[in-house]
Amino acid sequence: MSQSALLTLGVVAIFVGIVGAIVSLGVAASQRQQVSRSLAALDALGPRPEQVRRELDRPFGERVVNPLVGRLGRLGERFSPRDESARLRHKLELAGSPMKWDVERVQAFKMLGLIAGAAVGIAFPLLAGAGVAVTMGVAIVLTPLGYFIPDITLYQVAYNRNERIRADLPDSMDLLTISVEAGLPFDSALSQVARNTRGPLADELFRVLQEMQIGLGRIEALRALAERTNVVELRGFVTAMVQADQFGIPIASVLRVQSRDMRVKRTQRAEEQAQKVPVKILFPLVFCILPALFIVVMGPAAISAYHNLLH
């Protein structure tokens, strides 16, 4: 090959190399720009990886359950009557304000029960091969039942709590009377009873003391105590204390009368429950015990008579 051809080939190779280097630099710069634009788009669309990691480190309840409960609660509040929140708040107070229970959570549970009741009422009959009429009937029964399950639960919790307060009240009144007659002021005697007893009544007395410490008057605190329960005896005690404070009656004498009346009422209530036992046991006796007794007693005789007739 001649020298001129070699020189031409060398020049072309150098030119191709320069062009390739320029193209490579341009492609690299373009890729960097595309990566920068992609990162910017990711930053605009969502949080950074550190934020995502911190979000994933949070408990499942805070990430998923609490927002879902909030949305269901707002949905339930939207479709509930206007005074439903006030009624639920009163029911929660009667139930002792259980931990992690509030109006929004109860509304969420009601909506969840509504959805679950409708789903179960439709799915189970269809899976069992029932007709449309049976499916609709079961759904109509289970849907409102699921909606009212939180209300039923709150009622039962409040009922059990009020029964516990009613059972503990006479003994607490005796201790309060003894403390006042021993020379303690009413507030100190109330604190003594709250420290030496257990249960919902003690919790309510502690709350009364705390309300009095933050500046609420004694009468207002006792009236608030009566509004948080459905115990008639406790309401009567609060009424007597209010009247004693207004008319200047000695507290010790009022407490003595209240304590005696509560012991009498507890005895009367026990006698009343005992009188109800025969009526309550009548239906199990007639429908459960007597048929089994007849089968045990008359069964062998009936079998013997049957065999004798055959032979």
The token pair at 88 is: 């639920």
143 belongs to a structural domain = yes
Q: Which of 162, 177, 200 delimits the end of a domain?
A: 162
The DSSP string of the chain is --HHHHHHHHHHHHHHHHHHHHHHHHHHHHHHHHHHHHHHHHHHHS--HHHHHHHHHS-HIIIIIHHHHHHHHHHHHHTS-TTHHHHHHHHHHHTT--TT--HHHHHHHHHHHHHHHHHHHHHHHHHTT--HHHHHHHHHHHHHHHHHHHHHHHHHHHHHHHHHHHHHHHHHHHHHHHHHHTT--HHHHHHHHHHH--SHHHHHHHHHHHHHHTT--HHHHHHHHHHT---HHHHHHHHHHHHHHHHT--HHHHHHHHHHHHHHHHHHHHHHHHHHHHHHHHHHIIIIIHHHHHHHHHHHHHHHHHHHHH-
- Provide mean pLDDT across the span 14-32: 49
pLDDT at 11 over 50: no
pLDDT at 126 over 60: yes
117 belongs to a structural domain = yes
Nearest to 101 by CA among 29, 157, 176, 182: 157
Residues 168 and 266 placed together within one structural domain of the fold: yes
Tens digit of each residue's pLDDT (9 = 90 or more) over 131-158: 778 888 888 888 888 888 988 998 999 9
10 belongs to a structural domain = no
Tens digit of each residue's pLDDT (9 = 90 or more) over 213-261: 888 888 888 888 888 888 888 888 888 888 888 888 888 888 888 888 8
Residues 132 and 186 placed together within one structural domain of the fold: no
The residue among 224 and 309 whose pLDDT is bigger is 224
Tens digit of each residue's pLDDT (9 = 90 or more) over 48-87: 555 555 655 566 555 556 676 667 667 667 767 777 788 8
The residue among 124 and 11 whose pLDDT is bigger is 124
Question: What pLDDT, on a 0 to 100 scale, did the predictor assign at position 147?
Answer: 86
Q: Which of 132, 162, 192 delimits the end of a domain?
A: 162
229 belongs to a structural domain = yes
Residues 154 and 171 placed together within one structural domain of the fold: no
Question: What pLDDT, on a 0 to 100 scale, did the predictor assign at position 40?
Answer: 58
CATH code at 250? Answer: 1.20.81
Question: What pLDDT, on a 0 to 100 scale, did the predictor assign at position 229?
Answer: 86
Tell me how far apart the alpha carbons of residues 50 and 43 are, in angstroms, rounded to a whole number. Answer: 12
**What is the number of other CB atoms lying within 10 angstroms of the CB of residue 63?**
13
Residues 170 and 267 placed together within one structural domain of the fold: yes
Residue 15's φ and ψ, nearest 5 degrees, are -60, -45
198 belongs to a structural domain = yes
Give the lowest-confidence range in 27-36, 50-59, 118-127: 27-36
CA distances from 74 to 89, 105, 163 (A): 15, 10, 33
Work out the percent of the chain whose per-residue pLDDT is above 90: 1
Question: What pLDDT, on a 0 to 100 scale, did the predictor assign at position 290?
Answer: 85
Q: Are 84 and 77 in contact (CB under 8 A)?
A: yes
- Provide mean pLDDT across the span 114-120: 85
Question: What pLDDT, on a 0 to 100 scale, did the predictor assign at position 160?
Answer: 92
Give the lowest-confidence range in 22-26, 36-40, 175-179, 224-228: 22-26
Question: What pLDDT, on a 0 to 100 scale, did the predictor assign at position 283?
Answer: 86
pLDDT at 42 over 60: no
Tens digit of each residue's pLDDT (9 = 90 or more) over 80-114: 777 778 888 888 888 888 777 788 888 888 888 88
Residues 170 and 264 placed together within one structural domain of the fold: yes
228 belongs to a structural domain = yes
Question: Residues 36-57, buried b or exposed e (16+ Cβ, 10 A)?
Answer: eeeeeeeeeeeeeeeeeeeeee
Its domain, for residue 188, covers 164-273
Q: Find where tokens 């849907």 sit.
A: 143
- Number of domains forming the structure of the chain: 2
Work out the percent of the chain whose per-residue pLDDT is above 70: 75
The residue among 125 and 13 whose pLDDT is bigger is 125
Q: Which of 162, 187, 219 delimits the end of a domain?
A: 162
Mean pLDDT rounded to a whole number for the chain: 78
Question: What pLDDT, on a 0 to 100 scale, did the predictor assign at position 60?
Answer: 53
Tell me how far apart the alpha carbons of residues 247 and 258 are, in angstroms, rounded to a whole number. Answer: 17
The upper half-sphere exposure of residue 109, i.e. CA atoms within 13 Å in the direction of its Cβ, equals 15
Residues 195 and 176 placed together within one structural domain of the fold: yes
244 belongs to a structural domain = yes
Question: What pLDDT, on a 0 to 100 scale, did the predictor assign at position 143?
Answer: 86
